[in-house]
Each structure stands twice: as structure tokens, then as C-alpha cells.
Amino acid sequence: MKQEDLKTLLYDEIAKCNRCGFCLAHCPIYSVTGREWATPRGKNALVRAIIEGKIGWTPEIEDTLFRCTGCRLCTQTCFPAVETNQGVLAGRACLAEMKQYPKIVDRVSKALENNFNISDEPNEERIAWVEFLKDVPGHMYQKEKAKVLYFVGCVASFFPLVQKIPQAFVQILDKGEVDFSTLGGEEWCCGFPLIQMGMPDKMEKLIDHNQEKVEQLGAETVVFACPSCYHTWKEKYKINAEMLHSTQFMERLINEGKIKFKKGFNKTVTYHDPCDLGRNSKVFDPPRDILKAIPGLQLIEMANNRQLCICCGGGGDLEMIDPELSAAIAERKIQEIKDTGAEVVVTSCQQCIRTISGYARKKEIDLKVMDITEVVLEAMG
Amino acid sequence: MEREKLIEESIKIVGKENVLSSETDLLLYGYDASLFRGKPDCIVLPGSTEEVSKIVKFAHEAGIHVLGRGSGTNLSGGTIPTQGGIIIHFSRMNKILEIDIENQRAVVEPGVFTLALKNALARYGYVYQPDPASEKVSTFGGNFGENSGGPHCLKYGVTTNHILGAEVVLSNGEVVQVGGKSLDNPGYDLTGLLVGSEGTLGIATKLILRIMPKPEAVKTMLAIYNSLEDAGKTVSAIIGDGIVPATLEMLDKLTIKAVEESIHAGFPLDAEAVLIIELDGLKDGMERLAERIMEICKKNNVREVKAAKNEAERMQLWAGRKGAFGAIARLRPNYLVCDGTVPRTKLPEVLAKVMEVGRKYELSIANVFHAGDGNLHPLILFDERNEEELRKVHLAGSEIMKLCADAGGTISGEHGIGTEKKKEMLFVFTPQDIRAMEKVKRAFDPEDLYNPGKVLPEVEA
């Protein structure tokens, strides 16, 4: 993006910021850094100063703009609802144009170009998690035609810690007798990381490919266990099929009597709303309705929940860009989880699981973190 | 002193990671919530009183200006470094040091958010009473500097009535204790002098606060009016009847519209004004008091009085009031909050004149204010990118302050004088009065290093 476009697109939006500073109370980055550069107000001020020609693209602006989790809690709690994250992403797009960004950005964008996934591994490996499952049908979840497409997403496909999500979800779908398929090695990254890295233009190829695959499969529904894939598809893709998050789809299966909880789940749990599912896609009730339908499970809400849920620290590719900062945010999140006294924290996002349990493991904190698909599978018995 | 040397010395005191000096950082610490801008030479984030003292001592020896800053929510430009210097940002000194329920005291560092203490007190059934609209992010250091008010200050008094003592770093770096934990301290009331001195006399590094048990019962009512004048008359009539509610807030039509568009607090869009009347205290007798208030509202042509049925409804009404300033930003990009006070009986008359000022300068004005205190907050709406409009806004703001002063009121209710209203000080004080204040400033800060260029206008000796 060119600087002139920044002005056309965002000057009026950013000018709504009156610098009242109320966002400082909520921004996870400011909460752990205590520096003005971290604040949404500061980010608005910098984008504005750039637009007005009062400051150039300093290295500090790059650092600042690449340190935003995209959680949008600032916009949620801002009375004029300034879309700070849009300014941040547009700023990143300007920086990308000038090749001024953290090194990791190049690595990820090359991986997407070469292998269509963020891990830069051969894309056929996407389905490697299937090998650990018992009783896998002959088609290995790669059918030619299916009513439902399960779009797995890069992180859940390649990162061992969270492969348990697709492993659990396909078992639930099997038990629910759903006619579904994955795209296997033909699934390409949804493009979310490119938006975050300021290169939305490069998404087109990925979008076209994935859209075409939906059509070839003849899918009527596309389901995502990853909130960021879900949000990206909802915002950027144009398909005839309906798009649902796994929690919405599972809620439907429960209502249709296709998911039955024979075993239940005798534990107290708290639920963490992933930013891209909750605040950014407004899916708050389906996960809670699922948890409430499970016999024995007792749900305790965190102090900040639903629209006000605080990011785990893993949003907006922050874990890739600044793992220390991401960990500091996770530390606070874990404290809030611990304060509920719940035995298990349940979420519905592989990135939240990675950030929260990654930190807990490193610091040897006793904390059980589960994806909602795992809880459902266990409760089904 | 050269800037490089200044940065180098600061780093020696607080460490490299706690000194900010890039061009970007200087821009970021050049604003607050007011319309003013400045540029510091560097920003320092100390972790202890000792570090603050060292910084100030060094600045004193080198003749460098020093300015304290919390969340930068100041509305009068009090945190703007108009003459450069060091900004001490207190975000690292954000610990609640002590909560002493039996003695009803709390001790906090200056960077603690007001609401963070309230949340910590809630589980003991206690409360810190002052409630600035920005309380979720305003810091105690800022409350101290500005003598912050808030809706509940009608009944409980402003910040100065709740700060009993402080540890203060003087402009030469010396650390002194003013006041203490008792209600009446021997010697001069330096706490009273320092609270509201806008960082020009001393910088607080520890504050002793008065906390109170939460009232047994709260009743919140929304009174809806078809005329602003009737709402104004109701305010005078309630107070005149000897009733002091916990809050008595007024919002006019334009504010109602903005609030409803942003958060749906439940204010009717066709009303000319609403009052938020809150009672708190003992349960016994509260209903009777509420009935008396409703009677007074009816006598003054109220359209309807609604009582919040539960805590959620109450919170919703307050969310509307506390978010009013920000919500105004939905109507135009920017606003100037005028902060003036008039005798309650003059409210309807002054309000009418305020609206005339708006018409004269062709500016929209929204009104949201602490009516019980006679504390007006006309919000002048504009787009600061339009220079001509900005010029008119400053003129209109000053004219509104003149109206308040002429009506027997004053030019600040709670936001301070800062950079914004220095010359308006002469609307309410004579040059002799100002010179008396100058003597105090010189006694505390003879070199004029603490937040220079604020509060006091220049008057001839």
C-alpha cells in the first residue's frame, strides 16, 4: 500500500481518536509493556502523523505496528469505536511495500509461495496427523465429493501440540455420520498470515485455489476449527457454501441428536473466547451452549469474558514476531484463568492453546488446556 | 545540557530499557487528551521513589524541566511538555502497597489505575469514592495532580477529600512526607496545597487514601425531560429541598443521541434532557427519599422517571454517562470539553447562553455535566484538521468560561487549568491573587522546573 492510499482509506477513521486513553486500560500490549507506543491511542497517533507527514517510517514505527495482537478489544471498548487494527494493518501494508518488516515475514511469505503453508513443509504432509488415528476410513478423509468440507488450517495440520484438534474433530464427525472430507495436500493456507504481515494482495492465488476446491468437492458447508481461518474466509472468500466454525457445526449436530454425551465430563471448566471467533466474528454462544449441554460439566466464566475477553497473546502473528511479549500476555491470561478456580480451561482455537499451554509448560504451571473438540469427544464416550 | 548527555544520565539511573528517546517516542509523549501538543527531550520510567528522586535531583542540577505523567488522560493540557524536558511516566510504579480495612486506609503508588484499587476493594465491601469518568485508566498520581472530580463527588467531595497524605519528591529531588494516615495532621496542610497543583509543586510517589464501606443500598433513577430548563430547575429544587443525592448528572439531547448510537444506555432519543439521580446510603428511608425526589421532578414537568431495576440496568445508565465524551466523537471527529462551574440556580440561564455561543460561532455544542455541583461540561464539536474551526473552538471555549465566571462561578470544576485556561484565570482572580499563588510556586520550585508554563498566567510584578 502507498502512503496516499493510507490517507484515503484511514484518515477519517483515525481522526476520530480523541486520545482519551480509555484503551490503555484494555490493550494487552500496553498492560505488559506500560509504554505509550504500545497503546492503541499511540498507534492511531503514529498512523495519523505519517498521514500528515509529521514523521517518517522510523524503525520504532515498524516495531510498534508489528506489535498488535489484532484482538480489537480497544475498538470494543472505544466509544467512537475507532478501528485501530485497520490502521495497524494498513500501516504494515505500507511497510511491506518498502520491505521494512521483521525478518520472519519474508520466511513466512516464501513458505506460502513455495509450499502453500506457513511451516514450509511439503504440503502433502498436511494430513500427517491422520496416521496417529485408529480406524481411519479407506479414503483417509480425502474424498472426491462430500457435503461438508473440513478446512483444517496450517497450525493444526503441522504443529504436533495441536494436531489433537483435527484428530478429535474428525472422530466427532465420523460418530455423527457426517459426509465430510478434507482437502488433504490440496488445502492451501487461507491467507490470514498475509493480511497480518501487510501483504493482502498475495492472498488472491490462495483464495482462488481454495474456492475452486470447494466447488470441485461439491461442498454445501465449509467447517473450520481455526477461528482465524473462519474469520478470513467469512471476510475475504466468496463461495456459495455456508461457512461455520466447528462450535457452530457441533451445536447443530447436538440439536439434531447426532452428538450424544454418553460419558459426560465431570470437571469445572472456564471458557476462553478466541478473539477471531468471539469479538471478531461474534460467535459467543455456540461454544457455551455445547459446554452447558455436557452432563457433569460446570462452566465458570472468567472476570473478562465474551466481548471483553482478553487475548491470550497469540493473536495477529505476535507469537512469531515477538515471542517474549506474547508470553508476557499469556502469563496474565493464565492468572485470570487460575483466578476462576476451574480445573480445565477450554477454548476453540489452536493458537490460543499453543500460547497458553506453551507458556504454562515452560514455566511448569499446572494447567489443563483443552480444545472444545477434545472435550466433546471425551464426553461422547 | 545536550540531549545526548541527558539521555545518558537518565540511563545511568533507571537503565537503558526504561529510557525512551526516539523521535517516535517524543511524538507519542507529546500529547494527552487535550488539544495541545508539545515535545519532551526524553521519557523516563522509574521503578521506585529513589529513582524518581535521583532523576529529579539530576534534572535540578542541570536545570532541566520535569513533568509527571500517568495515563495521559488530561483534558487541559496539564501533561503536555510545552517547554521540553523529562517526562516521568509512572506506568511501572503501579502497585497497591497496602489495604487497611480496619483503619479505612489504602496506600498506592502513583501509577495505579483508580478502578484497579476499586476492584481490589470490592471484595472487602469497600470503596474509594471519587469517580472520574476516566477512572478505568486514570492514575492516582493524575488524580492527585488534578484534584479530580466525578459524579459521586457531589455527596462525597473531590479527590482532595480522600487523599490524606503523600510521599512527594520536591523539585530539588528531596523526598518528603506530607499529611499522614490521620484525618487532621499537625502543621501546614501541604497535602491540601499539593493536591490539584497540576505537577507544578511536587511529584507524588506514594499516596495515602481514605476508603469507605460500600453504601448498604443504591437507587439509581433516570428522569426524562422535554425541556432543558425544567431539568435544570429540578436540580436546584432537589438540592434546595435539602437532599444531597450521591449523583445528579445531566445530559442534553445531542449527548443522548451520541450515547445511544454508541452503547444504547436506554436514554430516549426524543428527550431534550435526562437526569441521572443516584441515592446511596442506608436502606431504611431510601424509598421515601426517592419518592420526594420524584415529587420534585413531577413539579418541574418531568416526562417520566424510571428506576434501574437491577445492577445491570444501573451499570448501563452509568456506562452511558461515563462514555458520553467518547461517544460525542461519533458526531464529529473531535471535541473540546469546557469545564466550568456556576451556582446551581444559574444553570438554566447559563446553559441558554452557552448554546448562544455555539450559534454565534456556528459550532455544535453537546452538554453533559455534573449538574448537582453546577459543574458544566459543554462539549464543542469540531474537526481539528480544520484550522479555522479550531480557532473558533478556542474562542468559544474561552467565551463560555467568561459566562461561568460572570455568573458567579469559576473556570474549572475538575479538569484543571493546565495549558488551556491560563489566561482565563484572570476571569476569576486579580493579579494580586495570582501573585500570591506565584509565591507558593517559588517556595516549592524556585527554578520553575516542575511542569513550567502551566496554571498561572503571567502578571506584572
Residue B251 domain-assigned? yes
A260 assigned to some structural domain: no
Q: Does A54 touch chain B (CB under 8 A)?
A: yes
Give backbone dihedrals phi and psi of B274, rounded to 5 degrees, phi first: -130, 150
Same domain as B39, residue B122: no
Q: Is residue B22 part of a domain?
A: yes
Question: Which tens digits make up the pLDDT trace of B411-426?
Answer: 988 899 999 999 999 9
Q: Would you call B178 helix, strand, or coil by DSSP? A: strand
Query: Grid coordinates in use for B230?
Result: 425544567
Least confident of B26-30, B159-163, B265-269: B265-269
Residue B319's pLDDT band (cuts 50, 70, 90)? confident
- Chain A to chain B Cβ contacts (< 8 Å): 103
Domain total for chain A? 3
Instruction: Tell me: do A197 and A327 sit in the same domain.
Output: no
Range of the domain at A286: 268-380
Residue A144, classed as helix, strand or coil, is coil
* In a shared domain, residues A251 and A109: yes
In this structure, are B170 and B242 located in the same domain? Answer: no
Q: Is A44 on the interface with B (CB under 8 A)?
A: no
Name the domain boundary from B189, B213, B237: B213
Question: Nearest C-alpha of chain A: how many angstroms from B78?
Answer: 14
Q: In terms of domains, do A10 and A62 share one?
A: yes
Q: Do residues A182 and A110 both lie within one domain? A: yes
Q: Do B220 and B205 belong to one domain? A: no
Do both B110 and B185 map to the same domain?
yes
Residues B262 and B196 in one domain: no
Picking from B436, B432, B423, B440, the residue whose alpha carbon sits closest to that of residue B460 is B432
In a domain, A172, yes or no: yes
Residue B325 has pLDDT above 80, yes or no: no
Closest chain B CA to residue A15: B333
Q: Among A203, A222, A255, where does a domain finish?
A: A255
A53 and A79 in a single domain? The answer is yes
Same domain, A185 and A275: no
Residues B224 and B323 reside in one and the same domain? yes
User: What CATH number has the domain bearing residue A58?
Assistant: 1.10.1060.10
Q: How far is it, in rounded angstroms, from Cα A6 to Cα B345?
A: 51
| B28-67 pLDDT per residue, tens | 999 999 999 999 999 999 999 999 999 999 999 999 999 9
pLDDT of residue B348: 86
Q: With an 8 Å Cβ cutoff, are A25 and B137 in contact?
A: yes
Q: Does B43 fall in a domain?
A: yes
Domain boundary among B66, B91, B116: B91
What is the C-alpha to C-alpha distance for residues B203 and B104, in angstroms, rounded to an integer? 24
Q: Is residue A111 part of a domain?
A: yes
Q: Where are the beta strands (DSSP E) in chain A?
A: 148-151, 180-181, 221-224, 242-245, 268-271, 298-299, 344-347, 368-371
| Distance, CA of B140 to CA of B113 (rounded, Å) | 6
Instruction: Give residue B263's pLDDT band: very low, low, confident or very high (50, 70, 90).
Output: confident
pLDDT at B24 over 90: yes
Say if A115 falls within a structural domain.
yes
Q: Is A262 domain-assigned?
A: no
Structural domain includes residue B456: no
- The residue with greater pLDDT, B228 or A212, is A212
- Which of A100, A131, A155 is the last residue in one of the domains? A100
Name the residue among A293, A354, A287 with its Cα closest to residue A320.
A354
Average pLDDT, chain B: 95
| Residue A45 forms contact with B (CB below 8 Å) | yes
Structural domain total, chain B? 4
Task: Please tell me if residue A339 touches chain B, with a CB cutoff of 8 Å.
Answer: no
Predicted pLDDT at A80: 85
Amino acid at B310: N
What's the pLDDT score for residue B276? 95
Whether A327 and A320 have beta carbons less than 8 Å apart is answered as no
Residue type, A2: K
Residues A148 and A251 in one domain: yes
Q: Could you tell me the pLDDT band of residue B258, with boundaries at 50, 70 and 90?
A: confident
Residue A134 lies in a domain: yes
Question: What's A140's domain CATH number?
Answer: 3.40.50
Q: What is the pTM of this model?
A: 0.94
State whether B99 and B209 are in the same domain.
yes
Q: How confident is the model at residue B268 (pLDDT cuts 50, 70, 90)?
A: very high
Verify that A243 and A299 share a domain, yes or no.
Answer: no
pLDDT at residue B15, as a whole number: 98
- Segments in chain A below pLDDT 50: none
The set of cell numbers assigned to B456 is: 498561572
Instruction: DSSP for B233-299, please give it.
Output: HHHHHHHHTT---SEEEEEEHHHHHHHHHHH-----TT-SEEEEEEEEE-STTHHHHHHHHHHHHHH
Q: Is residue A123 part of a domain?
A: yes
CATH of the domain at B420: 3.30.70.2740
Q: In which band, very low, low, confident or very high, does the pLDDT at B323 lie, cut at 50, 70 and 90?
A: confident
CATH number for the domain harbouring residue B308:
3.30.70.2190
Q: With pLDDT > 90 as the criterion, what percentage of chain B qualifies?
A: 87
Residues A215, A275, single domain; the answer is no
Let me know whether A236 and A175 are in one domain: yes
Query: Cα–Cα distances in Å, from A201 out to A90, A195, A196, A206?
Result: 12, 8, 12, 10
The CATH number of whichever domain residue B153 belongs to comes to 3.30.465.10
pLDDT tens for each residue of B89-119: 999 999 999 999 999 999 999 999 999 999 9
Instruction: Measure B207 CA to nearest chain A CA, in Å.
Output: 20
Whether A261 maps to a domain, the answer reads: no
**Cβ contact B326–A16 (<8 Å):** no
Note whether A94 and A109 are same-domain residues.
no
Domain hosting B154: range is: 94-213
Rounded distance, CA A286 to CA A290, Å?
Answer: 6
Task: Indicate which of B22, B25, B26, B28 best probes the interface with A, i.e. most A CBs within 10 Å of its own CB.
Answer: B28
Helix (H, G, I), strand (E, B) or coil at A58: coil
Distances (CA, A) of B365 to B331, B361, B387: 11, 10, 18
Residue A131 CB coordination number (10 Å)? 8
SS3 at position A372? helix
